[in-house]
Structure 1
Amino acid sequence: MADKTKVVVTGFEPFGEHTVNSSWTAVQELKRIGLGEAVDLYVCEVPVEYQAVQRLLPALWEEHQPQVVIHVGVSGLATTLTLEQCAHNNGYKRLDNCSFCPASQCCVEDGPECIKSVLDMDTVCKKVNDSNIGIAVSVSKDAGRYLCDYTYYMSLYLGQGHSAFVHVPPLGKPYSSQDLGRGLQAVIQEMLTQLEGHPAEEEHKHGEHCNYKH
């Protein structure tokens, strides 16, 4: 029997006004419903702390050797499941849950300003929206310059672009935890289909660099 596809999915702990973080609720629901027999799914909750992310992410990639890592975060501005195409290295000025921010305000010293996922989020978005699951999906190119963007950049850097980030709305605005879990399941299954069709290529040594200006 073929080896299972290893997938790591993370959500974040509560922060600020998000006393219940819908990202972790959604990931727990995804864990409950799974990604099918062929996928070995590991989930974990990420602290909203820059230094904790710096420690945790290398360990996740090293220990699990996943085909892809999908990070899920909450956005108070989101009304859809929002697929982030890329992440940014600089501009981290907001204090985390420990009232800390990096002195350099950057993620990886001398890293590229922006790294794109090897996944084509526009295609994932279209496929899921066309499937009429009742949960709207959109694409963004700005993950917000906080722990979401920071975590995504670290993961893209460590995983040579084999990472994805999904922003979800707060619970009930408009989706329930079951809706969010179902939406994540559909999005991630589509991502895995895309990865199977496009094996990793050498030019994605550190993912594609992008030049979006914000």
Structure 2
Amino acid sequence: MLHLGVNYRGKKMQLEQCAYNDATFRVPDNNGYQPQQICILGNSSTFGQCLRTTLDLNEICTELQQQGQSACCISQDPGRFVCNYTYCLSLDQCQSVNDSLEKNMQQSTKQLVGCHSLFLHVTPFAEIPEDNQLGFIVGLLKLIDKSISQEMKNGTSTKIRDD
């Protein structure tokens, strides 16, 4: 899953490494929802717990930069608004799918594809034009495909939560 959101102050395309189980909105969302210090995942996890993407963002970002996408960086902080909220739920869902796949792998000799999630904060078009952002996203999707294909060859496991 690839999620996108705009960082209105952003200068680079930010690959978000983490999401946090923390719904503390500085302002209300479009529906007027403004939680304060609430666990996004309910009672299933601790407040503020970090969930990480299973993708190797260091490798992906380095390759993007080598392809001329110099406006790429890795971020550890998606904020605490709708972007973080969405990413946290997505990473949690991927972990559930991956846990289920792991159990099925023990009962089967078939190789199953794991679930991956990434949040990309893009810049305003005034900072990086739309066509350049679309090219970046196409390149990113190709590198994600390459990374997942390599993972399947290596039989690498997927871990999302920091312990």
TM-score by length of 1: 0.59
Query: Which structure 2 segments of 5+ residues have no match?
Result: 96-114
CA shift for structure 1 position 88? 0.4
RMSD of Structure 2 on Structure 1 (CA): 2.2
Q: How does 1:5-44 map to 2 (within 5 A)?
A: none
Amino acid of the residue matched to residue 82 of structure 1? Q
Whether the aligned pair in 2 keeps the contact of 1:93 and 1:105 (CA below 8 Å) is: no
Amino acid of the residue matched to residue 129 of structure 2? S
Structure 1 residues 131 and 202 mapped into 2: Cα distance closer, same or farther (>3 Å)? Answer: closer
Which structure has the greater CA radius of gyration? 2
TM-score by length of 2: 0.77
Structure 1 residues 202 and 119 mapped into 2: Cα distance closer, same or farther (>3 Å)? Answer: closer
The count of residues paired between Structure 1 and Structure 2 equals 139
Secondary structure of 2:4's counterpart equals strand
CA shift for structure 1 position 75? 0.3
**Alignment match, 1:145:** 80
CA shift for structure 1 position 111? 2.4
Higher helix share: 2
2-side partners of 1:151 and 1:105: how far apart?
14
**Alignment match, 1:172:** 126
2-side partners of 1:184 and 1:159: how far apart?
21
CA shift for structure 1 position 184? 0.8
**Alignment match, 1:111:** 45
1-side partners of 2:33 and 2:16: how far apart?
25
Identity %: 26
Secondary structure of 1:209's counterpart equals coil
